[in-house]
């Protein structure tokens, strides 16, 4: 599949030929990366796959859930509008964990997506459809959303580049909310250069989003500099939770960075168990509030054989939501309930502040932090037997969302045919720094 940079050089006939090639490949693919009827927003613009929780006007948007079947988006998300202004356009909806809740893309109403590197393994989640499409050669590039690693983890599992921008750098207007203080739209691409191109296309201030940072649109692609020397923090204490192949890849990456002239600094981070606890209290609390709107009155599916309003709510939500979504709504309602709000939610917010302070303290002494993306390579669909096991897959990614910082994942090694990704974490709004160091690593490895 041509890269985004290569596609930019095509004329209208070339773009049309590319789209026909994509349609052929998608029709033959068994990855289940795309869902619903394949739609093309504008035949003259460069095709970008769109995760099924980002609004595209006139398209069905379901968030991988039964409860939203048949709902048509009435407007474009700001990220989609920005894409169109930059010469790109939505092309197909990609599969995802229901309402972005999961690390496998197996909780989708449309069935599981397969990892193109090994079809017995998960592609990661929740943006697994976007990552699988890019890695499987059936998308030039894609948009995903990252609440606790949902861009970086599938990018790592599938061997792509994934960027989670700083909170507020890309408008959330038109992104169906899971956890409003954590969600962020970002690119999944074949390489770092494409990642910079797509990030520049979607980022910028938006008056429709009250959390949008009032900053000029970035120009990271034109300013890419792979020769910069940086101070890079490493976190050896975190490696105790990782498999040996991840630990080896981490050390190889450190050695590569050291050989390239970067200064390596050892740092310590808060125990991951506190980060996991704080994250799942906060995100489920926000999810229980955000998903209250899906009640059968205004959006999507409505249950039948109803006797009263209470029946409408109970039957619609019982039939419409999957097990993982119900689990998180229940947990979120519990931690927000009277008697438990102070004990859990307020305490989690205090830990969140501590996590942000720790990251900022480390980043005062260095330019970026190097960390694993996941404690293992892509695992089999039957290997993650309990919800708690699945939650632990996010130990290296969720802290970045809690702190609102940017991070980029890129493939650095392979183990038995399965990619291993590492992530660089930067100061707020330092996407340029992350893209520069990631580009240098990518070029050195190639």
Which residues are annotated as catalytic? Answer: 51, 126, 150
Burial class, 330, CB count within 10 angstroms (exposed 0-12 / middle 13-18 / buried 19+): exposed
Write out the DSSP string of 381-404: TTT--SHHHHHGGGTTTHHHHHHT
3-state secondary structure of 329: helix
- CB count, 10 Å around CB of 443? 14
- List the one residue out of 268, 325, 253 whose CA is nearest residue 291: 325
Question: What gap in Å lies between CA 220 and CA 117, rounded to an integer?
Answer: 30
Contact present, 280 and 330 (Cβ < 8 Å) = no
- CB count, 10 Å around CB of 242? 18
3-state secondary structure of 321: coil
Contact present, 91 and 45 (Cβ < 8 Å) = no
Q: Sheet containing 88-94: which strands, arranged edge to edge?
A: 34-40, 88-94, 46-51, 142-145, 185-189, 161-164, 407-415, 418-426, 368-372, 231-234, 263-266
The first and second tokens of residue 11, run together, are 């004329």
Contact present, 371 and 423 (Cβ < 8 Å) = yes
3-state secondary structure of 121: strand
Question: What gap in Å lies between CA 14 and CA 407, rounded to an integer?
Answer: 34
Show the DSSP H helices in 86-232 as ranges: 128-135, 152-158, 192-202
H or E element, residue 21:
helix 12-28
Question: What gap in Å lies between CA 187 and CA 167, rounded to an integer?
Answer: 14
Residues 6+ apart with CB under 8 A from 39: 56, 59, 90, 91, 92, 93
């Amino acid at each position: 599949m041509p890269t985004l940079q290569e596609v930019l050089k095509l004329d209208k006939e070339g773009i049309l030929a590319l789209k026909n090639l994509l349609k052929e490949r998608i029709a033959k693919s068994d990855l289940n990366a795309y869902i619903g009827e394949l739609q093309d927003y504008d035949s003259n613009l460069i095709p970008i796959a769109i995760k099924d929780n980002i609004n595209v006007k006139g398209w069905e948007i379901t968030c991988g859930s039964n409860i939203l079947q048949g709902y048509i988006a009435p407007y474009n998300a700001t990220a989609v509008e920005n894409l169109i202004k930059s010469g790109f356009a939505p092309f197909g909806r990609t599969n995802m964990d229901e309402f972005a809740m999961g690390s496998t893309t197996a909780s989708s109403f449309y069935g599981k997506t397969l990892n193109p590197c090994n079809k017995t393994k998960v592609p990661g989640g929740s943006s697994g459809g976007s990552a699988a499409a890019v890695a499987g050669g059936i998308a030039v590039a894609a948009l995903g959303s990252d609440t606790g690693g949902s861009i970086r983890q599938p990018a790592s599992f599938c061997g792509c580049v994934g960027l989670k921008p700083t909170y507020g750098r890309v408008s959330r207007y038109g992104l169906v909310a899971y956890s409003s203080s954590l969600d962020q739209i970002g690119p999944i691409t074949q390489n770092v250069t494409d990642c910079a191109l797509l990030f520049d296309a979607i980022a910028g201030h938006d008056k429709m989003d009250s959390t949008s940072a009032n900053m000029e649109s970035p120009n990271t692609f034109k300013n890419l500099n792979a020769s910069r020397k940086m101070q890079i923090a490493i976190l050896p204490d975190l490696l105790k939770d990782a498999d040996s192949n991840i630990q080896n890849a981490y050390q190889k990456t450190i050695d590569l960075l050291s050989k390239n002239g970067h200064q390596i600094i050892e740092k310590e981070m808060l125990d991951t168990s506190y980060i996991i606890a704080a994250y799942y209290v906060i995100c489920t609390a926000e999810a229980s509030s955000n998903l209250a709107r899906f009640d059968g009155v205004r959006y999507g599916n409505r249950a039948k054989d109803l006797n009263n309003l209470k029946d409408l709510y109970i039957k619609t939500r019982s039939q419409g939501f999957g097990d993982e979504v119900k689990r998180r709504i229940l947990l979120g309602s519990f931690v927000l309930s009277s008697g438990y709000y102070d004990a859990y939610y307020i305490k989690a917010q205090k830990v969140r502040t501590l996590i942000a302070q720790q990251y900022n303290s480390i980043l005062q002494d260095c330019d970026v932090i190097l960390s694993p993306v996941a404690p293992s390579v892509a695992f089999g669909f039957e290997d993650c037997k309990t919800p708690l096991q699945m939650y632990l897959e996010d130990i290296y990614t969720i802290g970045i969302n809690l702190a609102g910082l940017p991070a980029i994942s890129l493939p650095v090694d392979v183990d038995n045919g399965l990619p291993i990704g590492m992530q660089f974490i930067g100061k707020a709004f330092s996407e340029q720094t992350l893209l520069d160091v990631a580009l240098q690593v990518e070029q050195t490895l190639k």
